[in-house]
Amino acid sequence: MGHMDYSAQMRDLGLRVTRGRLAVLEVLDGHPHSSAEKVVAEVRCLLPQVSIQSVYNVLNDLTAQGMLRRFTPPHSAALYETRVNDNHHHAICTGCGRIEDVECAVGHAPCLVPSENHGMEIQIADVLYQGICEDCRKRAAA
Ligand SMILES: [Zn+2]
Ligand SMILES: [Zn+2]
Ligand SMILES: [Zn+2]
C-alpha cells in the first residue's frame, strides 16, 4: 500500500497526515513484526528530528485506529505490523524467534469455537503456532 492510500486512510479517520506517521507506516511495510525500539531506530534514520516519544505515540495512535496491528509473542516485546483486518495468525520459531504470517484457514474472527463460552460472546480466538524452523532443525542436526 502506497503513501497516497495511507494518507487517504488517515484523513478518513480524521487523523492529521504527518511525516512521522507516514514514516512509521513505511518502516513497518518494509519490516513487518518490528518492535517499537526497532521502529524508532528505522524512523530516525529517515527523519532524525523525530523524537522517540513521538514514535511511541504514533504506534499507539495508529494501533488504536486500526491502521496497525500489535501482537506480543511470549518472551518478546510487543511487535507491530501494517497487515490488519485479515485475522492472520503467526508462527514463531522457539529456537531463533523468527516470525512468519499464516493465513487464517477460516478467514474471520473468531476462527475457533470454544467448547465452553461461559456466557461470553466470543470475538477473537488468538492463535499462535510455535515450532522449530527449518534452519534451526538443520543447525540441530549438524
Ligand atoms: Zn529458528
Ligand atoms: Zn503478521
Ligand atoms: Zn484462524
Distance 25 CA to ligand 2 centre (A): 14
Binding site, residues? 93, 96, 133, 136
* CA–CA distance, 68 with 52 (Å, rounded to integer): 18
- What's the CATH code of the domain at 131? 3.30.1490
Q: What is the pLDDT of residue 75?
A: 86
**Domain ranges, residue 74:** 3-81
- The reply to whether 29 and 96 lie within a common domain is no
- The reply to whether 11 and 66 lie within a common domain is yes
pLDDT (tens digit, 0 to 9) for every residue of the chain, 142 residues total? Answer: 555 699 999 999 999 999 999 999 999 999 999 999 999 999 999 999 999 999 999 999 999 999 999 999 988 899 999 999 899 999 999 999 999 999 999 988 999 999 999 999 999 999 999 999 999 999 999 8
* CA–CA distance, 123 with 76 (Å, rounded to integer): 24
Comparing CA positions, the residue from 8, 12, 27, 19 lying closest to residue 82 is 27
Domain count of the chain?
2
DSSP characters over 14-72:
T----HHHHHHHHHHHHSSSEEHHHHHHHHHHH-TTS-HHHHHHHHHHHHHTTSSEEE-
Binding site for Zn(2+), residues? 93, 96, 133, 136
Residue 106, phi then psi, degrees to nearest 5: -95, -40
Do residues 44 and 35 make contact, with C-beta atoms less than 8 angstroms apart? no
- The reply to whether 8 and 69 lie within a common domain is yes
* CA–CA distance, 37 with 72 (Å, rounded to integer): 14
> Which ligand sits nearest to residue 110's alpha carbon?
3
Distance 94 CA to ligand 1 centre (A): 7
Q: What is the pLDDT of residue 3?
A: 57
Distance 83 CA to ligand 2 centre (A): 6
- The reply to whether 40 and 20 lie within a common domain is yes
- What's the CATH code of the domain at 23? 1.10.10.10
Q: What is the pLDDT of residue 4?
A: 63
Name the DSSP class of 139: H
